[in-house]
Amino acid sequence: MLQLKLDIFQTLAFTVLLIWLGNYLRNKFPILKKYCIPSSVVGGLLFAIIACVLYVNNIASISFDSKVTNNLFYCVFFAASGAAAGMSLLRKGGKLIFIFTILAAVTAFLQNVLAVGLGRVLNVKPLIALMTGSIPMTGGHGNAASFAPIAEEMGAVGAMEVAIAAATFGLISGCIIGGPLGNAIVQKYGLKGNATAEEIAEMEKASQKQFIVNKERSLKAVCLMFIACGFGSILFGILKKVLPGVSLPIHVLCMLGGLIIRIFYDSVIGEDEALYESIDIVGEISLAMFVTMSIMTMKLWQLADLAIPMIILLFAQVALMALFATLISFRLLGKDYDAAIMAVGHTGFGLGAVPVSMATMKTVCDKYGYSKIAFFVVPVIGGLISNFTNAAIITFFLNFCKNL
């Protein structure tokens, strides 16, 4: 088998090519735009499928040096998301954060009930079935790698392989269903954001010189986001020493860094919408890069090891997440346009990862209009709060399944 390893610069170049390919295919096949499938998902997933075919046929194995750059883009995007939130948005988001926290916890609980309950019907051992629940779905690959060894220590042989494969399945599913689900909700209820894609295009055209062609503002936007990430990293190091038993993801602290910079900037210098537009652009570039990298490096051949009962369990999880987001999350979060975008975000991190939430939300917003509150609330829940609630729920179910 041919072994191909791309270095960090080759990886960056290849990522950009896949984004361009995704854009081309979206323009070539209108159905991709109609159902809000992001360019990063189109290009990244297409390559992941090709890489899988090459691998399983023993032709070539392709690997990338993407860890450092992917973390960088990941943190810069979240810093930009934090900087998008002003004090008015914080006040508005308080109630929604409380409601969404409960919804995310209930979802995780139901994912495990479904996994264990349906697993018994399909004669799958409880601890193995649990590896298709909230561990890989709400938790993603990180929780899969963290909790699967505990299940194996309890006697669940093969738990790691099942959990990692399930997390990969969830990631792909979240990429595919988020956009169409959001499109369906918006169309069904006749919702509309602050501006449609056509109106946004007109505004961008009218303000091109003010917002885009400004070297000083663009440089300031990039520098502020790097400072925000640096501040987030300092907070990350301090918390590790002060609270050694508590582990917060660094991207959440970078988001906090962006928020603090925004509040400080507004209070000392004053609001600068043109600067925030430039920061949004930095965030969008980072989003496209890290989502594409995350998807193109997926090892889809791991899914081939899943037996039919596991596949049934995973499709049941996708159905549960889609129904919950549509029938419950959307309604309880306000049944308005912001609620629709947050429901899309819920499917993203509910099936594996906050980056999927961000990518699918952005694609729906590109078509119907932006939702500031959604891009603030979803990362807070999916990237931070649900990590704590899900960990507690997983611990309960691990001990419960151990005794079955």
**Which pLDDT score, from 0 to 100, does residue 305 have?**
61
User: How many angstroms separate the CA atoms of 351 and 341, rounded?
Assistant: 16
Burial of 323 (0-12, 13-18, 19+ CB in 10 A): exposed
Cβ(86)–Cβ(271) under 8 Å?
yes
Cα–chain-centroid distance for residue 394? 20
In this prediction, the residues of the chain whose per-residue pLDDT falls under 50 are 199, 203, 206-211
Burial of 131 (0-12, 13-18, 19+ CB in 10 A): buried
Contacts of 69 (CB under 8 A, 6+ apart): 8, 11, 12, 289, 293
Q: What is the pLDDT of residues 327-354, one digit of tens each?
A: 999 999 999 999 999 999 999 889 977 7
User: How many angstroms separate the CA atoms of 140 and 167, rounded?
Assistant: 5
**Which pLDDT score, from 0 to 100, does residue 132 have?**
93
**Which pLDDT score, from 0 to 100, does residue 185 have?**
94
Would you list the domain boundaries of the chain? 69-282+302-402
| pTM, rounded to two decimals | 0.69
Residue with tokens 């392989």: 161
What are the tokens at 90? 């914080």
Q: What is the DSSP string of 321-365?
A: HHHHIIIIIHHHTTSSHHHHHHHHHHHHHHTT-HHHHHHHHHHHH
User: How many angstroms separate the CA atoms of 397 and 105, rounded?
Assistant: 13
Element (H, E) at 4: strand 2-6
